[in-house]
Amino acid sequence: MFDIGPGEIIGLAIVAMIVLGPDKLPRYAADAARMLRQLRRMANEAKSEVRKELGPEMQDLSLTDLNPRSLLRKHLLEPMDLDDIDDLGGSRKPPVQRGPGSGPAAAPGTPPRYDEDAT
């Protein structure tokens, strides 16, 4: 999240020890840990309250589902299931050919006719 490496953490700890001193450092570390626990508790309570307010049909909704990147990946990049199309009232009929070249289908293995007006 913050992209801080182990060397930077050690450097921050040394600076904190110099600035705060060895006698005040444990107290400030305990206060910081207490504040972090309280923030996590508040975030979890807010998340559960939002889920409760959305109702039972949205219980399986997670925050990662609302991320635009994962939303696009889910709806655009995943292959579409053809059974879902049947459920929506679609069909798997071949497309109807219309226009000047809409005569009978060519024999298998022959290349399609070239239409200069279409290009």
User: Concatenated DSSP letters for 68-115?
Assistant: HHHHHIIIIISPPPHHHHHHTT---PPPPP-STT-SSPPPTTSPPPP-
**pTM value?**
0.44
Does 30 map to a domain? yes
User: Among 15-24, 47-56, 79-88, where is mean pLDDT lowest?
Assistant: 79-88
Closest CA to 51 of 40, 59, 63: 59
Buried-exposed string 9-40: b where 16+ CB fall within 10 A, e elsewhere: eeeeeeeeeeeeeeeeeeeeeeeeeeeeeeee
CB atoms within 10 A of CB 51: 15
Does 69 map to a domain? yes
Does 17 map to a domain? yes
The answer to whether 58 touches 51, Cβ cutoff 8 Å, is yes
Does 48 map to a domain? yes
Does 83 map to a domain? yes
Q: Which domain holds residue 20?
A: 6-91
- Tell me how far CA of residue 9 lies from CA of 21, 26, 56, 73, in angstroms: 17, 16, 43, 35
Average the pLDDT over 97-110 and give the result: 63
Say what the pLDDT of residue 43 is: 92
Is residue 90 scored above 60 in pLDDT? no
Does 33 map to a domain? yes
Q: For 21-70, what is each residue's pLDDT tens digit? A: 888 888 988 999 999 999 999 999 998 888 888 777 777 777 677 788 88
Say what the pLDDT of residue 91 is: 52
Does 15 map to a domain? yes
Q: How many domains does the chain have?
A: 1
pLDDT band at 92 (very low <50, low <70, confident <90, very high): low
Say what the pLDDT of residue 116 is: 75
